[in-house]
Structure 1
Amino acid sequence: MLRGLDISDMLIIDRLELGFQPGLNVLTGETGAGKSILLDSLGFVLGWRGRADLVRQGAEQGEVTAWFDLAEGHPARAVLQEAGLPDGDELILRRINGRDGRKTAWVNDRRCSGEVLRALSETLVELHGQHDDRGLLNPRGHRAILDDFAGNGAAQAKVRKAWSALAAARKAAKIAASEREAIEAEEEFLRHAVAELDKLDPQEGEEATLDTKRRMMQSAEKIRSDVVNAYEMMGQNGAERHMGDALRWLDGAAAQAEGALEAPMAALNRAMVELDDAMSGVADAIDVMSFNPIELEETEERLFAIRGLARKHDVAPDELAGFAGTLRAKLDTLDAGEAAQAALEQAVKDAEAAYEAAADALSRSRAKAAAKLDKAVAAELAPLKMERAVFETQITAEEPGPDGRDGVSFTVATNPGAPAGPLGKIASGGELSRFLLALKVCLTQGQTGLTMIFDEIDRGVGGATADAVGRRLSALAEGGQVLVVTHSPQVAALGAHHWRVAKGVAKGVTTSTVVPLAPEERVDEVARMLSGDVITDAARAAAEALLAG
């Protein structure tokens, strides 16, 4: 619960330190005294988005510090742990607003972001008023409020997951159908192109091989006769015969040469071996150059066919084989498309069924929670002198979406037989205050360690009704903490702790102060609220009676 609030240089507050207690805390004062400034300052340190011009005139910066007691297991502890911030029995929030608009925040003396402050605030404080910050008067937020009341988090997550799966299945089926339509539009071209490519069957690297072979056959016609002549000059009628003769003559003379011919003969033998290798290579070359003119024609035809097909499809010759595979895959998709499309359509039906089941379960939970909420609000309205009013949570069918198929709106009928309508349009100011109080009480049940703040929730009511509102607030504060900004003497008299907010002018500067009231001072304040500026004995007596209960 909120234990204290320290405010410096915020709007018309110079320096103010407040200590709050468990139970019902009431703040009273004349209109314009600065009660709303306290809430603005508290909202600022909690990270709420509000007015920007908070720094007091002439000051360089405004600062607000708030400290809370955290019980064991308080939800704020989980937020602190997730943010990596110190966790203890006391939580201290501090935030500074510079004149230039820059804001800096600390949690337990550690710097933090406004997002962390707002996450903490959701576990620490609940603000209620006619201009409700959680959207009770805005039907767009009613579904989320009902889901919070019902604890539908897991069911909502299941619906959102099913909706995402359904959207993905529908997208896949749509894309596949579109692709199939596009392929069908070019089916004739595909089948002709694949048949043409399959017939030619071009291979990677084949174009370069054919080009080399073609050039070799073309050049062979020019050089083959020279190569054959060279071979003949090296053969039996040429170098080979003469070298053989020379070797025989040398061999016959070697016996009388006293070894002088051994080296020349060895060299000649080696030359004979090299000559043999040369003749073998030239013979192989002649074989290669021996071709059928028809083969040259066929090579050229295939080479030109490959190049022509490559130009036709605007791809490199070496890419024709892969291109054929791409076109063939499209045809395979088309040929198998009916079965594949049927499978995708079945996946859509399965996803629709899963979504319907999840949405049905969420709808049932909402319907059950709506009846429970209506009953709880009705029980709260009776003590607030509205036992004849009817509050109803209406659930209507909407287009399916990630949050299900239900529209939710809170409606009221203030009198039997009167038509029901939106909460903010049917109820008068005083009735609206009581509806909001009853609804907020029901929505905050089960929340532990939460400080509830009611900003003039009793506006527009008086007499016995104001007393009923005060008593409901007092009962709500038992075992917890409630802060009430009020103009109602009946509500103020029921507070366990009472502060008066006043505005004064000193040396031409307007400031706001907040002082705790002793018992006798409470009598004067309640009397002022009853009678105005002039406190009469009758007003004081009435105030004493109210405070006596």
Structure 2
Amino acid sequence: MLTALSIRDVVLVDALDLEVEDGLTVLTGETGAGKSIILDALGLALGGRGEAGLVRSGAKQASATAVFTAPDDDDLIALIAERGFDVSPGEDLILRRVLSADGRSRAYVNDQTAGVAALREIGARLVEVHGQHETVGLLDWKTHRGLLDAYGGTAPQLSAVAQAAEWLKAAETRLAALRAAAADAAARSEEIALNLADLDALDPREDEETELAGERAILGAAEKAMADLADARTQLGGDKLIQKLSAALRAVEHARQRAAQALGPSDAEPGTDAAAPTGAEHVVLARLSTAAEAIDRTIVEALEAIAEVDAAANAFDFEPGRLDKAEERLFALRAAARKLNTTVHALPALRVSLREQLRLIEDGAEALTAAQRETTAAREAYDLAATFLTSAREAAGDRLTRAVMAELTPLKLDRARFRVAFEPVGEDRRGPLGVETVRFQIATNAGDGFGPLDAIASGGELARFALAMKAALAGREDQRQPVMIFDEVDQGVGGAVAEAVGQRLKRLSSGAQVLVVTHSPQVAARGHTHWKVMKSDADGMTTTTVVPLDDDRRREEIARMLSGAVITDEARAAAAVLIG
């Protein structure tokens, strides 16, 4: 719902802030007062064409801001999000356009910079314009199918078609993939078989490259450590070292024995006690004993050292030639990966893939036959669902045709004929929306062939036909009605026809929002809200203003529309009757 419109420096408008009510709002005023300026400004805010001529004379820029209630239409919310705008739930939607005097413009959605195209997309979901020069929405045949579906209540049939289309698409995709894979595999079968044989012989394992690289590093370090231990064993001398130490120990023992004998009882007189060793003699014997003990300890520790070196060497218990085998395996894996233009890590998966491709060649006929059967079944299911949808649309088209035709005569379009035309899209285009396009067509005179809606040459007739369409569709659309604007829909008509226009506009505004620019008192009398557009001159400048009318002023304005410049009591009475 449009709640407010703010206009600055647009043509004759200096500054204007309007609050828009629900229901039917009528805009009246003298010819040339600037009623169309209000619609031009709204169109500018909605992404319409921005021309430098819209900027008020002497102003640097013009701006128009339209405020709508928080969107609750899922499609509109999705569109806003897709275009990258952040609008919080419950937040008003504000569209703004600023137009410079040089013709350049800037667009904003909730104060976020926007492209004009995005603004126009969002605006088209919010407002429909039916007027002298354009009818947005109905003239676009791409909207006709959605309008007819909403009118006819074909949602169940449309949902069935969408589900069938999804199944068919999946089946066709699978069939195409199987055909392509089988064709590719058959063309490469010999190469595939050779490569698979090589991989089977190689038998690559998951993460084998990492394991081999780690093993090679360990084995390389182990070989170097073994070499160092062998050098240590050589330097220790082994048995020769023990033999030399043992010989040294015996020599020291012999020396100690000789010293003890030399200092023993043989030097004393017979029959007397042996003399105790002197201090110097005691030191010699002690030194020799210490030397013997040290050599003995050295023998023990040397034996322990040799044993520990041998134990350390035995700890490197690797299979001889194991490093060579690991390197050969690693090189073989990498060579295979290079040949097959892949990585060693991917070789096991490639082996599985090659085996699957060969299986497709061997079992491809059966798989393709099953996929073809599924695709045929999906196509038949789609065609059946599409048939039901087409029947529902044709029935809705007949009802809509009768409803529109019933609206044409009261609106002085009795020579016009309306129909809903269906055009097949082709068997190869089974989509989620069915197998036909829908076009609303009209013939304006007897003997004329049917053509698109814009074949109506008269702007007033085009607006009235749009009113007839919207009146026929009103209350039957699942979608929320956008704001609808009718610009001089009553052009060239009066009396009963103008009364019919007013009735339909009021009916259309029930639960919706309709704005109409009118010169017809019969139409103006039907409004829920009445704005009078006036033009005034001050300080050499002409300015357009809009004044909301209360009941008394509204009756006076309708009386003016009935009688002209001089408002008579009879005109006031007639206005009161029209207002009811």
Taking structure 2 as the reference length, what is the TM-score of the superposition? 0.64
Q: Distance in 2 between matches of 1:84 and 1:411?
A: 41
Map residues 252-267 of structure 1 onto 2, 5 A cutoff. Answer: 259-260=289-290, 261-267=292-298
The aligned counterpart of 2:276 is none
**Cα-to-partner distance string for 1:125-172 (whole Å, 9 max, x where unaligned):** 653325444331232321132234345668657755664665455445
Equivalent residue for 1:379, pick from 401, 406, 411: 406
The code of the aligned residue for 2:295 comes to: P
1:359-390 per-position Cα deviation (integer Å, ceiling 9, x unaligned): 45544543343333223323323433556754
In 2, the alpha carbon distance for the partners of 1:246 and 1:497 equals 130
Q: Distance in 2 between the 1:234 and 1:412 partners?
A: 117
Match for 1:97: what amino acid?
V
Q: Which residue of 1 aligns with 2:421?
A: 394
Counterpart residue type for residue 436 of structure 1: A
The structure with the largest alpha-carbon Rg is 2
- Write the distance in 2 (CA, Å) between the matches of 1:9 and 1:488: 29
Alignment of 1:140-289 (within 5 A): 140-150=142-152, 163=165, 166-167=168-169, 170-199=172-201, 204=209, 259-260=289-290, 261-272=292-303, 274=305
Q: What letter matches 1:485 in structure 2?
A: V
How many Å separate the matches in 1 of 2:346 and 2:89? 59
Distance in 2 between residues matched to 1:452 and 1:25, nearest whole Å: 12
Alpha-carbon offset, residue 436 of structure 1: 1.7
Q: How far, CA to CA, are the matches of 1:479 and 1:94 in structure 2?
A: 23
Tell me the distance in 1 between the aligned counterparts of 2:529 and 2:124.
Answer: 23
Identity %: 32
CA-to-partner distance for each residue in 1:53-83, whole Å, 9 max, x for gaps?
A: 4432223554557789x8xx99699979x94
Task: State the alpha-carbon separation in 1 of the partners of residues 511 and 298 from structure 2.
Answer: 122
Verify the 8 A CA contact 1:492 1:526 in the aligned structure 2: no
Match of 1:333 among 352, 357, 378: 357
* Equivalent residue runs for 1:121-520 within 5 Å: 126-150=128-152, 163=165, 166-167=168-169, 170-199=172-201, 204=209, 259-260=289-290, 261-272=292-303, 274=305, 311=335, 314=338, 323=347, 326-336=350-360, 338=364, 348=375, 352=379, 355-356=382-383, 359-360=386-387, 362-386=389-413, 389-398=416-425, 399-414=429-444, 419-425=449-455, 431-445=461-475, 452-461=484-493, 464-473=496-505, 476=508, 482-488=514-520, 491=523, 501=533, 503=535, 506-514=538-546, 519=555
Aligned partner of 2:50 in structure 1 is 51
Q: Which amino acid aligns with 1:41?
A: A
Task: Tell me the secondary structure at the aligned position of residue 400 of structure 2.
Answer: helix
AA aligned to 2:464 is R
CA 1:116/1:152 → structure 2, altered by over 3 Å: closer, same or farther? farther
Deviation for aligned residue 1:12: 0.9
Residue 38 of structure 2 corresponds to 38
- Deviations along 1:174-232, one digit per CA (max 9) or x if unpaired, are 34543443343333233234434544657757699899999x99xxxxx9xx99xx89x
CA distance in 1, matches of 2:336, 2:510: 88
Distance 1:496 1:315, change over 3 A: closer
Match of 1:220 in 2: none
Distance 1:284 1:112 in 2: 74
Q: CA deviation at 1:509?
A: 3.0
**Aligned AA (1:59):** A
Number of the residue aligned with 2:105: 101
- Structure 1's unaligned 5+ residue stretches are 218-222, 529-534
Distance 1:306 1:481 in 2: 78
Q: Distance in 1 between matches of 2:139 and 2:185?
A: 54
**Contact kept? 1:29, 1:500, Cα under 8 Å:** no
- What is the distance in 2 between the residues matched to 1:6 and 1:482? 18
Residues 10-25 of structure 1 mapped to structure 2, 5 A cutoff: 10-16=10-16, 25=26
* Residues 50, 105 of structure 2: 8 Å contact kept: no
Alignment partners' CA distance in 1, 2:343 and 2:121: 60
The letter of the residue matching 1:405 is V
Structure 1 position 439, deviation (Å): 0.3
Whole-angstrom distance in 2 between the partners of 1:282 and 1:5: 94
User: Are the structure 2 counterparts of residues 324 and 249 from structure 1 closer, same or farther at C-alpha, using a change threshold of 3 Å?
Assistant: same
- Structure 2 partner of 1:27: 28
Whether contact under 8 Å (1:76, 1:120) holds in the other structure is no
Q: Return closer, same or farther for 1:395/1:540 CA change in 2, 3 Å cut-off.
A: farther
* Distance (Å, rounded) in 2 between the aligned partners of 1:93 and 1:311: 65
Deviation at 1:278, TM superposition (A): 6.7
Distance (whole Å) between structure 2 residues aligned to residue 3 and residue 418 of structure 1: 43
- Counterpart contact for 1:451–1:481, Cα < 8 Å: yes
2-structure distance, mates of 1:521, 1:362: 51
Compared CA separation, residues 15 and 312, structure 1 to 2 (3 A): closer
Q: 1:162, 1:358 within 8 Å by CA — same for their partners in 2? A: yes
After TM superposition, give the deviation of residue 425 of structure 1 in Å.
2.2
Please tell me whether the aligned partners of residues 242 and 303 of structure 2 are also in contact (alpha carbons under 8 angstroms): yes
Gapped runs of 5+ residues in structure 2? Answer: 81-85, 261-284
2:561 aligns with 525
Q: 1:126–1:540: structure 2 CA closer, same or farther, 3 Å change rule?
A: farther
- Which of 202-211 and 412-421 deviates more? 202-211
Contact 1:388 1:415 in 2 (8 A): yes
Contact 2:8 2:14 in 1 (8 A): yes
Alpha-carbon shift at residue 408 of structure 1 (Å): 0.1
What displacement does 1:410 show?
0.8
Quick one: distance in 2 between partners of 1:325 and 1:452?
62
How far residue 37 of structure 1 moved from its aligned partner, in angstroms, is: 0.4
1: distance between equivalents of 2:512 and 2:332?
89
User: Judging changes above 3 Å, is the alpha-carbon distance between structure 1 residues 98 and 264 closer, same or farther for their aligned structure 2 residues?
Assistant: same
Residue 437 of structure 2 aligns to a residue whose secondary structure is: strand
Aligned to 2:83: none
Q: 2:9–2:56: 8 Å Cα contact kept in structure 1?
A: yes
CA RMSD of the aligned region, Å?
A: 5.8
2:56 match: secondary structure: coil
In 1, the alpha carbon distance for the partners of 2:408 and 2:158 equals 30
Q: Is the 8 A contact 1:173 1:344 kept in 2?
A: yes
Deviation, structure 1 residue 98: 6.1
Give the stretch that moved more between structures: 367-376 or 91-100.
91-100
Cα gap change, 1:207 to 1:185, in 2 (>3 Å): farther
Counterparts of 1:66 and 1:313 in 2: how far apart (Å)? 65
- Pairwise CA distance, 1:525: 3.4
The count of aligned residue pairs is 511
SS at 2:430 equivalent: strand
- The 1:334/1:253 distance shift into structure 2, 3 A limit, reads same
Q: Is the 8 A contact 1:383 1:468 kept in 2?
A: yes
Partner SS, residue 401 of structure 1:
coil
Corresponding residue of 2:88: 84
Q: Give, in angstroms, the shift of residue 95 of structure 1.
A: 5.0
